[in-house]
Structure 1
Amino acid sequence: MYVADRTWPELGEYVAEESVAIVPLGSTEQHGPHLPLATDHLIAEGLAREAADRTGFLCTPTVNVGVSPHHRQFHGTMWVDAPVFRDYVESMTRNLAYHGIDRVVFVNAHGGNVEHLREVGRRLRDDGTIYAVEWMWDESIPELVDEAFEFNGPHGGPKETAMIQHLAPELVRDDKLAAARDGGVRDVDDVEFLERYGARTFYDAIENSGNGVFGDQTDATPEIGERLFEAAADQLVRLLQWLDDQRIDDLLAPAHVDPQPGSRRPDRAGSGADGSR
């Protein structure tokens, strides 16, 4: 169920019976000479809509600009500052809580969003508003991704190429796959400046890859993309069904532990007979 396609009475019927919502999030950022800037949000929306179709759960519009300043040197990349992103997603999720939703999955396809979505989830859980978790598609199927490609790459590589070949083949510049591989970094292990003495010593993608991408894009095929998509969608559906089965009280933050037996810690009324502290 896609929220924007429904009327308000229909959505009232939904929240009378269900309490789960799916929020897709991605980015609008460079993905090399072969993939569109829409890559991340196309993947997130595709998986979110598929899971919504399979489960009947509510899917919101996609947040398609994320935290991407590390790609800003490449034309067209758009981003918002991290605090703005967190506040926006938190506010949007509180809207869902206002209407009766109490558990949310952030279906994410952009690595730059991960830590911020997890922080939003913590904020919302800590104040008892809603239970929200971040879900990253490739992290749900790591073995399959590793088996599919010899040189995968964390950005603009064969896994994302294969997914877009499956979801939106008309947007893939197939004649640029070899150029993407040759102008980027085929083997991430060859990058010398990823880390020094335990510290990550770079901030922007261009510092490691001249065209912004990693991996061997020529290994991607639509068939592999379909396998990745179906496997990730299966994992997402399982997560949603698990979430739906839980008691909300078991998902929200536990209460503070009681004082130790024999503790002389004063109660909130005061430590003395007269209530003085």
Structure 2
Amino acid sequence: MYIGDETWTDLGDYFEDESLAIVPIGSTEQHGPHLPLGTDALIAEAFAREAAQRTGYLCTPTIDVGVSAHHRQFHGTMWVDAPVFRDYVESLTRNLADHGIDRVVYVNAHGGNVQHLREVGRRLRDDEVLYAIEWMWNDSISDLVDDLFDRTGPHGGPKETALVQHLADELVRDDRLSAARDGGVVDITTNDTIVDGARTYYDAIDNTPNGVVGDQTDATAAKGERLFEAASERLAHLCEWLDAQAFEELMPKPHVD
């Protein structure tokens, strides 16, 4: 169920019977010469809507600008400052609580959002408003990702490329896959950006001249379909698991006597 398609009168039954919502969160940022800036938002929304369709839980609109200042040197990248992002997501989530939602799954497809979504979840839980957790699709099927690709790359690599090929192939510049690989960094572990245990980089461009990592030529729509099906199954299971938990068990434990 997608909230934007419903009327307020129709949603009354949902909020009376259910207490879980799915919130897709992505970014609008460079993904190399071959993928659209909306890659993360597209992926997050696809997973969230699929999980909502499979389970019947409520899916909200997508938050499509996130914490992406580390991609700012590349044309078109959009971002909000981290405190603003956290406050916005928290406010939106408290809005859901006002309608009776007491557990939320943030379907997140952008690594730069992770720590901030965890912080929002902690704030809401500490206030005993609701329980919110962050989910990343590739973390749920890491073994499959490793099986399908030799050099996955943490950003704009073959795993994201394959997913977009499956979800919206018309947005992938297939004629630029080799250029993406050759103009970027195939294996980030070969970069000299960690010195004596210290990370010496802050921005994506410090690691890769064209913004992406991995071997994009290893991506296919068929691989993307396998990724999407496997991760959608894990997300649906997570939602059902969370819904089955007693709210009291999700809240902070009392201080030890």
Q: TM-score, normalised by structure 2?
A: 0.99
1:186 corresponds in structure 2 to 186
Q: Deviation of residue 32 (structure 1)?
A: 0.2
Structure 1 residue 199: Cα displacement? 1.3
Moved over 3 A (4+): none
Match of 1:229 in 2: 228
Residue 67 (structure 1) shift: 0.1
Matched residue, 1:210: 209
Matching residue of 1:156: 156
Stretch moving more, 80-89 or 198-207: 198-207
Q: Is the CA contact (8 Å cut-off) linking 2:188 and 2:207 kept in structure 1?
A: no
Q: Which residue of 1 aligns with 2:169?
A: 169
Task: Please tell me the residue identity of whatever aligns with 2:11.
Answer: L
Structure-2 separation of matches of 1:18 and 1:56? 10
What letter matches 1:216 in structure 2?
A: D
- Counterparts of 1:84-163 in structure 2, within 5 Å, are 84-163=84-163
Separation in structure 2 between the aligned mates of residue 189 and residue 19 of structure 1, nearest angstrom:
43
Structure number, greater radius of gyration = 1
Q: 1:111-165 CA distances to partner (integer Å, 9 max, x unpaired)?
A: 0000000000000000100000000110111000011111110000000000000
> Whole-Å Cα distance in 1 between the matches of residues 251 and 104 of structure 2?
12
User: 2:28·2:64 contact (CA, 8 Å) conserved in 1?
Assistant: yes
The aligned amino acid for 2:10 is E
- The CA RMSD over aligned residues, in Å, is 0.6
CA distance in 2, matches of 1:11, 1:175: 45
- The residue type paired with residue 100 of structure 2 is G
Q: SS of the counterpart of 2:241?
A: helix
1:220 aligned to 2:187?
no
Identity %: 70
The yes-or-no answer on 1:251 pairing with 2:250 is yes
Tell me the residue number matched to 1:261: none
Shift of 1:197: 1.2
User: Are 2:237 and 1:238 aligned?
Assistant: yes
Instruction: Give the whole-Å Cα distance in 2 for the aligned partners of 1:197 and 1:235.
Output: 38
The amino acid across from 2:243 in the alignment is D
Structure 2 contact 165–220 (Cα < 8 Å) conserved: yes
Q: CA deviation at 1:12?
A: 1.1
Q: State the aligned residue count.
A: 257
Between the aligned partners of 1:204 and 1:81, the Cα distance in structure 2 is: 15
Deviation, structure 1 residue 189: 1.9
Alignment gaps of 5+ in structure 1: 259-277
Which secondary structure state, in structure 1, belongs to the residue aligned with residue 107 of structure 2? strand
Encode CA deviations 1:23-61: one digit per residue, 9 max, x unaligned: 000000000000000000000000000000000000000
TM superposition shift of 1:178: 0.2
Q: Distance between the aligned counterparts of 1:9 and 1:252, measured in 2?
A: 31
Pairwise CA distance, 1:198: 1.2
TM-score (ref. length: structure 1): 0.92
CA distance in 1, matches of 2:15, 2:199: 45
Q: Which runs of 5+ in 2 are unaligned?
A: none
Larger displacement relative to structure 2 (85-94 or 2-11)? 2-11
State the one-letter code of the partner of 2:201.
F
Shift of 1:257: 2.2
Whole-angstrom CA distance in 2 between matches of 1:11 and 1:255: 35
Question: Residue 9 of structure 1: CA displacement?
Answer: 1.3
Higher helix share: 2
In structure 1, the residue matched to 2:51 is 51
2:197 counterpart of 1:198: yes
Q: What letter matches 1:233 in structure 2? A: S
Q: CA deviation at 1:255?
A: 1.8
Q: Is the 8 A contact 2:140 2:234 kept in 1?
A: yes
The AA in structure 2 aligned to 1:63 is I
Q: Secondary structure at the match of 1:168?
A: helix
Q: What code does the residue aligned with 1:200 have? A: R
Query: C-alpha offsets along residues 188-228 of structure 1, whole Å, 9 cap, x if unaligned?
Result: 221111x1111111000101101000000000000000000
Q: Tell me the distance in 1 between the aligned counterparts of 2:127 and 2:256.
A: 17
- Tell me which residue corresponds to 1:61: 61
SS at match of 1:135: strand
